[in-house]
Structure 1
Amino acid sequence: MRGYQLVDGSSGVYRADEARVQQGTVDTDHTGHSGAGFVNLENTPGSYAEWTVVAAAASTASLELRYANGTTADRPMDIAVNGTRIAAGRTFPPTANWDTWATAALPVSLKAGANTVRFTSTTAAGGPNLDRITVR
Protein backbone atom coordinates (compact mmCIF):
# COMPACT_ATOMS: atom_id res chain seq x y z
CA MET A 1 0.00 0.00 0.00
CA ARG A 2 1.39 3.40 -0.95
CA GLY A 3 2.06 5.62 2.05
CA TYR A 4 3.62 3.26 4.58
CA GLN A 5 5.76 0.20 5.05
CA LEU A 6 5.90 -1.48 8.44
CA VAL A 7 9.13 -3.19 9.40
CA ASP A 8 7.99 -5.04 12.56
CA GLY A 9 5.43 -4.87 15.35
CA SER A 10 7.37 -2.44 17.56
CA SER A 11 8.60 0.11 15.07
CA GLY A 12 7.77 1.24 11.60
CA VAL A 13 9.95 2.63 8.87
CA TYR A 14 8.14 4.80 6.35
CA ARG A 15 10.24 5.55 3.30
CA ALA A 16 10.18 8.97 1.68
CA ASP A 17 9.67 7.48 -1.77
CA GLU A 18 6.30 6.18 -0.50
CA ALA A 19 5.13 9.54 0.91
CA ARG A 20 2.40 11.68 -0.56
CA VAL A 21 4.24 14.79 -1.78
CA GLN A 22 2.80 18.23 -2.50
CA GLN A 23 5.13 20.59 -4.38
CA GLY A 24 8.14 18.34 -4.59
CA THR A 25 9.64 15.29 -6.28
CA VAL A 26 11.20 11.97 -5.41
CA ASP A 27 14.82 12.21 -6.53
CA THR A 28 17.91 9.96 -6.55
CA ASP A 29 20.73 12.41 -7.35
CA HIS A 30 22.29 12.32 -3.85
CA THR A 31 23.81 9.23 -2.24
CA GLY A 32 22.91 7.52 1.01
CA HIS A 33 19.12 7.50 0.83
CA SER A 34 17.52 4.33 2.16
CA GLY A 35 14.70 3.68 -0.30
CA ALA A 36 14.14 4.13 -4.00
CA GLY A 37 14.70 7.88 -3.55
CA PHE A 38 14.26 10.84 -1.23
CA VAL A 39 11.76 13.69 -1.17
CA ASN A 40 13.09 16.97 -2.53
CA LEU A 41 10.50 19.62 -1.62
CA GLU A 42 10.14 22.75 -3.72
CA ASN A 43 11.67 25.90 -2.29
CA THR A 44 8.38 27.39 -1.19
CA PRO A 45 6.39 27.61 2.03
CA GLY A 46 3.65 24.98 2.16
CA SER A 47 5.45 22.22 0.27
CA TYR A 48 5.05 18.98 2.21
CA ALA A 49 5.51 15.24 2.55
CA GLU A 50 2.88 13.15 4.32
CA TRP A 51 2.75 9.56 5.50
CA THR A 52 0.09 7.27 6.91
CA VAL A 53 1.50 5.76 10.11
CA VAL A 54 -0.28 2.72 11.54
CA ALA A 55 -0.38 2.12 15.30
CA ALA A 56 -1.68 -1.09 16.87
CA ALA A 57 -2.96 0.88 19.87
CA ALA A 58 -3.13 4.48 21.04
CA SER A 59 0.33 5.36 22.32
CA THR A 60 3.11 7.88 22.66
CA ALA A 61 5.99 7.19 20.30
CA SER A 62 9.25 8.69 19.13
CA LEU A 63 9.08 9.99 15.56
CA GLU A 64 12.49 10.16 13.87
CA LEU A 65 13.02 11.95 10.56
CA ARG A 66 16.17 11.25 8.54
CA TYR A 67 17.04 14.32 6.48
CA ALA A 68 19.82 16.13 4.60
CA ASN A 69 20.32 19.89 4.41
CA GLY A 70 23.26 20.85 2.22
CA THR A 71 22.78 24.60 2.70
CA THR A 72 24.31 26.82 5.37
CA ALA A 73 20.90 27.77 6.83
CA ASP A 74 18.26 26.03 8.93
CA ARG A 75 15.26 24.71 6.97
CA PRO A 76 12.40 24.70 9.49
CA MET A 77 9.22 22.69 9.09
CA ASP A 78 5.85 22.42 10.81
CA ILE A 79 4.97 18.89 11.89
CA ALA A 80 1.34 17.79 12.20
CA VAL A 81 -0.25 14.54 13.33
CA ASN A 82 -3.86 13.92 12.29
CA GLY A 83 -4.22 17.56 11.28
CA THR A 84 -2.98 19.01 14.57
CA ARG A 85 0.32 20.89 14.51
CA ILE A 86 2.58 19.37 17.18
CA ALA A 87 5.74 21.33 16.31
CA ALA A 88 5.88 24.78 14.72
CA GLY A 89 9.03 25.77 12.86
CA ARG A 90 10.95 22.68 13.99
CA THR A 91 14.59 23.21 13.08
CA PHE A 92 16.45 21.06 10.58
CA PRO A 93 19.98 22.48 10.72
CA PRO A 94 22.58 22.08 7.99
CA THR A 95 24.33 18.78 7.47
CA ALA A 96 27.77 18.68 5.83
CA ASN A 97 26.23 18.44 2.32
CA TRP A 98 23.25 16.92 0.48
CA ASP A 99 24.82 13.42 0.74
CA THR A 100 25.14 13.59 4.56
CA TRP A 101 22.06 12.49 6.48
CA ALA A 102 21.09 13.38 10.06
CA THR A 103 18.19 12.33 12.28
CA ALA A 104 15.83 14.58 14.25
CA ALA A 105 13.40 13.05 16.77
CA LEU A 106 10.33 14.25 18.65
CA PRO A 107 7.60 12.61 20.74
CA VAL A 108 4.18 12.10 19.15
CA SER A 109 0.81 10.81 20.31
CA LEU A 110 -0.77 8.30 17.96
CA LYS A 111 -4.29 6.92 17.91
CA ALA A 112 -5.02 3.26 17.24
CA GLY A 113 -5.12 2.61 13.49
CA ALA A 114 -4.12 5.00 10.72
CA ASN A 115 -2.50 8.34 11.58
CA THR A 116 -1.52 11.09 9.14
CA VAL A 117 1.94 12.61 9.74
CA ARG A 118 2.85 15.70 7.70
CA PHE A 119 6.09 17.71 7.44
CA THR A 120 5.46 21.14 5.87
CA SER A 121 8.05 23.71 4.76
CA THR A 122 7.65 27.08 6.49
CA THR A 123 10.02 29.34 4.53
CA ALA A 124 10.76 30.30 0.93
CA ALA A 125 13.84 28.03 1.09
CA GLY A 126 11.60 24.96 1.50
CA GLY A 127 12.43 22.01 3.73
CA PRO A 128 15.40 19.67 3.86
CA ASN A 129 15.57 16.54 1.70
CA LEU A 130 13.62 13.78 3.46
CA ASP A 131 14.77 10.15 3.46
CA ARG A 132 12.45 8.31 5.88
CA ILE A 133 10.58 8.48 9.15
CA THR A 134 10.86 5.84 11.85
CA VAL A 135 8.28 5.39 14.59
CA ARG A 136 9.46 3.70 17.79
Structure 2
Amino acid sequence: MSGLESLYQELILDHAKHRRGFGLAAEEGATATSHQRNPICGDEITLRVRVDGDAVRDVTWEGAGCSISQASASMLAELADGMPRAEASALIAAFREALRSRGEVELDEDVFGDAAALSGVSRYTARVKCAMLGWVALEDALARA
Protein backbone atom coordinates (compact mmCIF):
# COMPACT_ATOMS: atom_id res chain seq x y z
CA MET A 1 0.00 0.00 0.00
CA SER A 2 1.40 3.40 -0.96
CA GLY A 3 1.77 6.24 1.52
CA LEU A 4 -1.16 8.08 -0.04
CA GLU A 5 -3.43 5.01 0.10
CA SER A 6 -2.45 4.52 3.74
CA LEU A 7 -3.26 8.17 4.51
CA TYR A 8 -6.64 7.83 2.78
CA GLN A 9 -7.41 4.65 4.72
CA GLU A 10 -6.58 6.43 8.00
CA LEU A 11 -8.80 9.37 7.01
CA ILE A 12 -11.72 7.04 6.29
CA LEU A 13 -11.25 5.23 9.60
CA ASP A 14 -11.04 8.55 11.46
CA HIS A 15 -14.35 9.75 9.98
CA ALA A 16 -15.96 6.37 10.70
CA LYS A 17 -14.91 6.56 14.37
CA HIS A 18 -15.34 10.31 14.93
CA ARG A 19 -18.42 11.00 12.82
CA ARG A 20 -19.03 14.66 11.99
CA GLY A 21 -22.66 15.75 11.94
CA PHE A 22 -23.74 12.56 13.72
CA GLY A 23 -26.96 12.82 15.74
CA LEU A 24 -30.13 14.07 14.12
CA ALA A 25 -31.07 17.69 14.78
CA ALA A 26 -34.54 18.35 16.17
CA GLU A 27 -37.15 17.69 13.52
CA GLU A 28 -38.96 21.01 14.03
CA GLY A 29 -35.84 22.93 12.98
CA ALA A 30 -35.26 20.81 9.88
CA THR A 31 -36.42 21.47 6.37
CA ALA A 32 -36.32 17.86 5.18
CA THR A 33 -35.37 14.35 6.24
CA SER A 34 -34.42 11.38 4.06
CA HIS A 35 -33.89 7.74 5.01
CA GLN A 36 -31.82 5.61 2.65
CA ARG A 37 -30.93 1.94 2.89
CA ASN A 38 -28.57 -0.23 0.91
CA PRO A 39 -30.49 -3.53 0.57
CA ILE A 40 -27.35 -5.37 -0.54
CA CYS A 41 -25.41 -4.92 2.70
CA GLY A 42 -27.96 -3.43 5.11
CA ASP A 43 -26.27 -0.03 5.61
CA GLU A 44 -28.75 2.68 6.60
CA ILE A 45 -28.59 6.47 6.86
CA THR A 46 -31.21 8.96 8.00
CA LEU A 47 -30.15 12.47 7.09
CA ARG A 48 -31.79 15.70 8.15
CA VAL A 49 -31.01 19.10 6.65
CA ARG A 50 -32.17 22.66 7.13
CA VAL A 51 -32.17 24.97 4.12
CA ASP A 52 -31.87 28.64 5.11
CA GLY A 53 -32.62 30.78 2.07
CA ASP A 54 -30.30 29.28 -0.50
CA ALA A 55 -27.82 27.81 1.98
CA VAL A 56 -27.57 24.23 3.18
CA ARG A 57 -27.42 24.28 6.98
CA ASP A 58 -27.26 21.76 9.78
CA VAL A 59 -26.58 18.55 7.86
CA THR A 60 -27.08 15.94 10.56
CA TRP A 61 -27.45 12.20 10.29
CA GLU A 62 -27.64 8.87 12.03
CA GLY A 63 -26.85 5.52 10.58
CA ALA A 64 -25.33 2.13 10.88
CA GLY A 65 -23.15 0.21 8.50
CA CYS A 66 -19.66 -0.23 7.20
CA SER A 67 -16.80 2.21 7.67
CA ILE A 68 -17.19 3.50 4.12
CA SER A 69 -20.86 4.46 4.45
CA GLN A 70 -20.33 6.06 7.86
CA ALA A 71 -17.16 7.92 6.87
CA SER A 72 -18.73 9.15 3.63
CA ALA A 73 -21.76 10.60 5.47
CA SER A 74 -19.42 12.24 7.98
CA MET A 75 -17.32 13.78 5.22
CA LEU A 76 -20.42 15.03 3.43
CA ALA A 77 -21.91 16.62 6.56
CA GLU A 78 -18.70 18.51 7.16
CA LEU A 79 -18.35 19.56 3.52
CA ALA A 80 -21.91 20.60 2.66
CA ASP A 81 -22.75 22.72 5.70
CA GLY A 82 -23.05 26.35 4.63
CA MET A 83 -22.79 25.56 0.93
CA PRO A 84 -25.24 27.12 -1.54
CA ARG A 85 -27.94 24.63 -2.49
CA ALA A 86 -27.03 24.59 -6.21
CA GLU A 87 -23.36 23.99 -5.35
CA ALA A 88 -24.32 21.09 -3.07
CA SER A 89 -26.38 19.53 -5.88
CA ALA A 90 -23.48 19.92 -8.33
CA LEU A 91 -21.11 18.39 -5.77
CA ILE A 92 -23.38 15.35 -5.38
CA ALA A 93 -23.54 14.91 -9.17
CA ALA A 94 -19.74 15.13 -9.51
CA PHE A 95 -19.25 12.68 -6.63
CA ARG A 96 -21.64 10.21 -8.30
CA GLU A 97 -19.81 10.56 -11.63
CA ALA A 98 -16.42 9.89 -10.01
CA LEU A 99 -17.66 6.88 -8.07
CA ARG A 100 -19.25 5.36 -11.16
CA SER A 101 -16.07 5.88 -13.21
CA ARG A 102 -14.35 2.67 -12.02
CA GLY A 103 -11.23 4.63 -11.15
CA GLU A 104 -11.12 6.82 -14.26
CA VAL A 105 -12.16 10.06 -12.47
CA GLU A 106 -10.37 11.12 -9.28
CA LEU A 107 -12.06 13.37 -6.72
CA ASP A 108 -10.28 16.71 -6.39
CA GLU A 109 -9.20 17.32 -2.80
CA ASP A 110 -9.63 21.10 -3.24
CA VAL A 111 -13.30 20.56 -4.08
CA PHE A 112 -14.19 17.46 -2.05
CA GLY A 113 -11.93 17.88 0.98
CA ASP A 114 -11.66 14.67 2.99
CA ALA A 115 -14.18 12.96 0.68
CA ALA A 116 -11.44 12.81 -1.97
CA ALA A 117 -10.14 9.85 0.05
CA LEU A 118 -13.10 7.87 -1.30
CA SER A 119 -11.83 7.98 -4.91
CA GLY A 120 -10.49 4.43 -4.63
CA VAL A 121 -13.95 3.09 -3.80
CA SER A 122 -14.91 3.53 -7.46
CA ARG A 123 -12.81 0.47 -8.33
CA TYR A 124 -15.03 -1.74 -6.13
CA THR A 125 -18.52 -1.72 -7.60
CA ALA A 126 -20.08 -3.39 -4.56
CA ARG A 127 -18.83 -0.55 -2.31
CA VAL A 128 -20.02 2.36 -4.45
CA LYS A 129 -23.54 2.20 -2.99
CA CYS A 130 -22.04 2.30 0.51
CA ALA A 131 -20.14 5.49 -0.26
CA MET A 132 -23.13 7.05 -2.06
CA LEU A 133 -25.69 6.42 0.69
CA GLY A 134 -25.35 9.73 2.56
CA TRP A 135 -24.99 11.68 -0.68
CA VAL A 136 -28.22 10.18 -2.06
CA ALA A 137 -29.94 11.04 1.24
CA LEU A 138 -28.83 14.69 0.97
CA GLU A 139 -29.90 14.81 -2.68
CA ASP A 140 -33.34 13.46 -1.72
CA ALA A 141 -33.67 15.81 1.27
CA LEU A 142 -32.77 18.83 -0.88
CA ALA A 143 -35.38 17.77 -3.45
CA ARG A 144 -37.98 17.60 -0.65
CA ALA A 145 -36.99 20.96 0.87
TM-score by length of 2: 0.29
Structure that is richer in helix per residue: 2
Using structure 1 for the length normalisation, give the TM-score: 0.30
Return the structure number with greater relative CO, CA threshold 8 A, min gap 6: 1
In terms of fraction of residues, the more strand-rich structure is 1
